[in-house]
Structure 1
């Protein structure tokens, strides 16, 4: 639980709202670890803000280098806000300047501001006069809890793909790969992206680096433990072409 000092500290933050739509895919649902049922926002030491969602089995982290947060906090599952954040909603806006674009959190209120506000220059780590560019606003109360220390599960040494000698097989929940595609479809619906997957050791997390213009993001997928005797070879029935001898016999008979 957070201490009294943290609870009394007001929150100021701003970041692109589409990031919430992508992170929602990785967020836990009704987990007893209640702090996972939300999205963590915290300042980044290299500038900007980090946004993270995980259910304990897979994770997505995005850096908004143009955003900021006054401190770490957890956004609860606000379905009405997440609905607006999805790209399909913003396409309905007829005027580009009125398109919802960013989230501004000012103490106890979550505001969605339009594209016109994002184009205005403002001082670093300052919200600016966002009230004149509001799309919508709701009361906001952070999840009162401590988010896991994500750095503890991140591999310290990234495998060299060219020199890697991976194990012959690794088992993962295929839904997690589908979740990456779903999140990226929301994050950059009109832009092609690539994913690079690497693993340091057999039971280490899989690191999935997202490659897309103006996007800084990666995912973590925890592998499943499998039987050492599990066969990952292509099944024999796939090689159903007739043998050379059989082909000659067939030709001779014809």
Structure 2
């Protein structure tokens, strides 16, 4: 189990803040810890927009929890059917916590800013160093991630690194499907359910120097036609 010390009582992008672990505190959020493993690749590190250096957890009208992470170039949205969050929060998470994340453990966030990964018996497996809560206003992902007008498929110029990360994400679920709208709208993807988690995301498209297949490639001719009888006779 990892226990915080005084030298670790700070998070990237925010002033150092002490957490009094002995003071009474209540739990303000609990979500499946797999949300951390899924969201972490989409979170920037040391971004000057400090509110992006974590994942946004907010309550939905059906009393479930929605988790969002974005670096401005791509995003991921997760619905935890059994998740709970009292009010919308932004939580910083450390890479070291990933090894403790699994489908049976939870991320618990306390009102004093402490957070930890607990196993199914409620035993801490990882205690987040320092204060985990980030003050700020997280951008509304629904202003970007509208699914209206999308159809299945991939089109437009896509950053191959971001596409690779999306495909790696699909390994947790076994399948992934892509949806596209036009050259300017994000490429969206949906992955199959992982237990009680529903996941989709998007990758912003890039402006590239080419928009169609190369025009310099020679037009077809009958010479050396791979389907012609004369060509087959030469190789038979």
Deviation of residue 245 (structure 1)? 5.3
Match of 2:177 in 1: 196
Query: Of residues 155, 169, 180 in structure 1, which corresponds to 2:166?
Result: 180
* TM superposition score normalised by structure 2: 0.73
Q: Can you give the 5+ residue segments of structure 1 that lack an aligned partner in the other structure? A: 1-9, 91-99, 118-132
Query: Of residues 190, 197, 201 in structure 2, which corresponds to 1:219?
Result: 201
Within the alignment, does 1:103 sit opposite 2:89 as a pair? no
Indicate the structure with greater helix content.
Answer: 1
Q: Can you give the 5+ residue segments of structure 2 that lack an aligned partner in the other structure? A: 1-25, 219-223
1:21-170 → structure 2 map (5 Å cutoff): 21-85=37-101, 87=102, 101-108=105-112, 109-117=114-122, 133-138=123-128, 139-161=130-152, 169-170=155-156
SS in 1 for 2:157: coil
Q: Deviations over 1:172-217 (max 9, x none)?
A: 01111211233344xx3xx52x222112222111111112353300
Give the conservation status (yes or no) of the 8 Å contact 1:11–1:71. no
Moved more, 48-57 or 148-157: 148-157
Q: 1:248 to 1:75 in 2, by over 3 A?
A: closer
* TM superposition score normalised by structure 1: 0.68
* Aligned residues between the structures: 204
Within the alignment, does 1:250 sit opposite 2:231 as a pair? no
Q: Deviations over 1:109-150 (max 9, x none)?
A: 213222134xxxxxxxxxxxxxxx333434433112211111
Deviation of residue 12 (structure 1)? 0.5
Q: 1:56 to 1:243 in 2, by over 3 A?
A: same
SS in 1 for 2:138: coil
SS in 2 for 1:115: coil
Deviation of residue 54 (structure 1)? 0.9
Deviation of residue 44 (structure 1)? 1.7
Alpha-carbon separation, structure 1, partners of 2:59 and 2:142? 14
Give the conservation status (yes or no) of the 8 Å contact 1:50–1:62. yes
SS in 1 for 2:105: strand
Alpha-carbon separation, structure 2, partners of 1:160 and 1:136? 41
Match of 2:23 in 1: none
SS in 2 for 1:46: coil
Within the alignment, does 1:210 sit opposite 2:191 as a pair? yes
SS in 1 for 2:163: helix
Give the conservation status (yes or no) of the 8 Å contact 1:159–1:198. yes
Q: 1:173 to 1:241 in 2, by over 3 A?
A: farther
Give the conservation status (yes or no) of the 8 Å contact 2:225–2:231. no
